[in-house]
Structure 1
Amino acid sequence: MSQPTPNPPQTPAALSIDAILHARPQLPVATSRGRGWSGVTLDVHRSYLKVTESYAPLDHHMVHLCTSGAARLTQIRAGAVDTRVVRAGHTLIMPAGYSSSWDGDAAPSARLRVPTSLVTHAADELGDAGPVRMEVVNVFDTFDPTIARLAQAFVAELDLAPHPCQRLIVDAISSALAAHLLRRYNVFQPVERQRTRGLGRVEVGRLTEYVEDNLHRSIGLAELAAIVGVSRFHFCRLFKQTMGVTAFAFVEECRIRRARQLVVETALSLADIALLVGFSDQSHFTRRFTFHVGTTPGAFAREYGARRSRGARAS
């Protein structure tokens, strides 16, 4: 009598960015989840003592920055065991597809969860003959000032109230982090693409028209890139090469230019003008207006409002 064939062992399903939140016993003290941001997801964690945890592979890359303090931690990935004190400013990188075990203490951290598609899109932009091969290196500990600055920029945005410009900022930071992983932590040597042409006059015109028609709301890099038919990674390079400023800076300049026009030509309140040009609150509008114009919106309104009144009386 033949024996039944045993079922092969089941490979655990990869944990998604959403699933890992509930798979871990500790919830973050702050998170970008629910903010409507695309790209990288940020979870901020406090310190944890006597951690003993094991996890199925992730379907995304995890970049872990120790934000303060120090703690002794044992990490196990891909059959390698690493025990060390992880200190403030140091980073560990766990690529997608790695099972992991953790034992010891965990210092306060910012954990950046990077979709694999984000890095793949960055790799696709580098190859002329075809996509660049990409595999993120497993890193138990490194000191990387670029990752630290990008993580700090994410955390700073998390501390701010939501506003329409935030999507552009977060998109740009996400793109920068993906490009940095590709440049510094790729198992394979990337192939640099030859310098491409900038944006044409017609393309710049379409972009300008689109921005000016949508100043009242948040504008993302992906939608601007779609207008000229390139990825947002390629778009960032082309736009800066052509215009001399980032897309974020250009959009803000358009907002301020429209605000000046509304102050001079209408009797709208400054609070209404702030909303019409895409600022979520008057305080942020005042800071950025002052930065660009050299005077506050109130002072600008008094000066040009007085001129408009004198002109009306004279006529």
Structure 2
Amino acid sequence: MNEPHPISPSGQKLVSIEEIVDIKPRRPLATTRDRGWSGVTVDLYRPRLDCSQTYPALDHHLISYCPSGRARLIQRRNGVVHEGTISAGMSLLMPAGCVSTWEGRTPTSARLRVPARLVAAAGEELGSHAAASIEIRNIFETRDRLIEHMALVLLAELEQQAHPAQALIVDQVSAAIAAHLLRAYNAFGIAERRTLPGLGKAEIERITSYIEDNLDRMIGLAELAALVDVSRFHFARLFKQSTGVSPINFVEQRRIERARVLIAETDTSLAEVALATGYSDQSHFTRRFHRLTGGTPAAFAREHGRRLRRRPPN
């Protein structure tokens, strides 16, 4: 059974992340929508010289980050009109539920669409259980270094080829964005975070076993968190508290260790090893292997590979 569509306090249907791309007059230059990522959705748009558009209220929060360019823009939201220049490095923040009007010119913009449930989940982890205690403020323009950094990370991942590690990277950046919105832009205070115990030995073993069984594909933070029945926000903190490394780093360490075993104990080609350990191609596998071990897979194979041991003497 389908969930009811969100409705604004005025009775207007709220537009979802999936619907907004069809309402806008232009298609994005690039988007994360076809990547299968959870968390924040990113749409990258070209500059526009003749913007004049009114949009219905959204069911999600919008961060619009300007990676380059400069343009004069008039914004109308919640009965307030703001005219200003948006330039590289600046962001604007529009909370869910706002009808918005945009006029003038728009520079290149990366639209980060943050699900309201993501921010609500972060609030629960920080100690605020009531949805009414979260109200993201409307910000017409700001230079927020953390938003800029996280937006650039997501844009950099958008330029990369699909890779199993991206799910964990995007999950953690999405969690960081939600937490930052609560810390810097929530109209209400957040209660002190609850102190909870770390993961137990059996839980670590369950997570490790799951990772080992799925090294050949993308592994998301949410699915790891579900193994121990906590939110992904809580999981990332608990996992590092319990193991000393982040989930991203732990998964990649296991991938590299699996690759070393395959190279040393089987006749599997390096290209096949790359695929078997979740890397999109041999080139990316080589770069990551070198970064974590200090040597290339080929060099490791020459020193430890099964083929070398089986080579007959001259």
> TM-score normalised to the size of structure 1?
0.92
Is 1:91 the counterpart of 2:96? The answer is no
Q: What's 1:154 paired with?
A: 154
The structure having more radius of gyration, on CA atoms, is: 1
Deviation by residue 1:240-288 (Cα, 9 ceiling, x = unmatched): 1111111010000000001101111101101111111111111111011
Report if aligned partners of 1:264, 1:308 keep a CA contact under 8 Å in 2: no
The Cα of 1:306 is off from its aligned counterpart by 6.8
Gaps of 5+ in 2: 1-9
Report if aligned partners of 2:77, 2:100 keep a CA contact under 8 Å in 1: yes
Number of residue pairs aligned between Structure 1 and Structure 2: 303
After TM superposition, list the pairs within 5 Å mapping 1:61-140 onto structure 2. Answer: 61-127=61-127, 130-131=129-130, 133-140=133-140
Report if aligned partners of 1:126, 1:191 keep a CA contact under 8 Å in 2: yes
Amino acid at match of 1:65: Y
The Cα of 1:197 is off from its aligned counterpart by 1.6
Greater displacement, 130-139 / 61-70: 130-139
Report if aligned partners of 1:59, 1:96 keep a CA contact under 8 Å in 2: yes
Q: Secondary structure at the match of 1:103?
A: strand
Distance 1:71 1:313 in 2: 70
Report if aligned partners of 2:302, 2:308 keep a CA contact under 8 Å in 1: no
Amino acid at match of 1:239: F
Deviation by residue 1:9-30 (Cα, 9 ceiling, x = unmatched): x943211112111111122111
Q: Which runs of 4+ in 1 moved over 4 A?
A: none
1:195–1:248 CA distance, 2 compared to 1 (3 A):
same
Deviation by residue 1:58-91 (Cα, 9 ceiling, x = unmatched): 1110000111121111101000111111111111
Q: What's 1:293 paired with?
A: 293
After TM superposition, list the pairs within 5 Å mapping 1:20-59 onto structure 2. Answer: 20-59=20-59
Q: Secondary structure at the match of 1:67?
A: strand
Q: What's 1:221 paired with?
A: 221
Gaps of 5+ in 1: 1-9
Deviation by residue 1:81-132 (Cα, 9 ceiling, x = unmatched): 111111111110000000011111101111100110110110111117x447
Amino acid at match of 1:146: L
The Cα of 1:307 is off from its aligned counterpart by 8.7
Distance 2:95 2:59 in 1: 9
- Aligned alpha-carbon RMSD (Å): 1.7
Q: What's 1:167 paired with?
A: 167
Distance 2:216 2:67 in 1: 36
Q: Secondary structure at the match of 2:204?
A: helix
Deviation by residue 1:179-225 (Cα, 9 ceiling, x = unmatched): 11111111101112143221111111111111111111111101100
Amino acid at match of 2:176: A
Distance 1:203 1:114 in 2: 30
Q: What's 1:240 paired with?
A: 240
The Cα of 1:150 is off from its aligned counterpart by 0.5
Distance 2:306 2:227 in 1: 41
Q: Secondary structure at the match of 1:208?
A: helix
1:283–1:80 CA distance, 2 compared to 1 (3 A):
same
Q: What's 2:176 paired with?
A: 176
Distance 2:294 2:67 in 1: 36
Distance 1:255 1:17 in 2: 33
Q: Secondary structure at the match of 2:72?
A: strand
Distance 1:16 1:313 in 2: 65
Amino acid at match of 1:102: W
Distance 1:131 1:259 in 2: 46
Report if aligned partners of 1:125, 1:131 keep a CA contact under 8 Å in 2: no
Distance 1:284 1:75 in 2: 43
Distance 1:308 1:18 in 2: 53
Q: What's 2:4 paired with?
A: none
> TM-score normalised to the size of structure 2?
0.93
1:19–1:307 CA distance, 2 compared to 1 (3 A):
closer
Greater displacement, 95-104 / 189-198: 189-198
Distance 2:268 2:34 in 1: 33
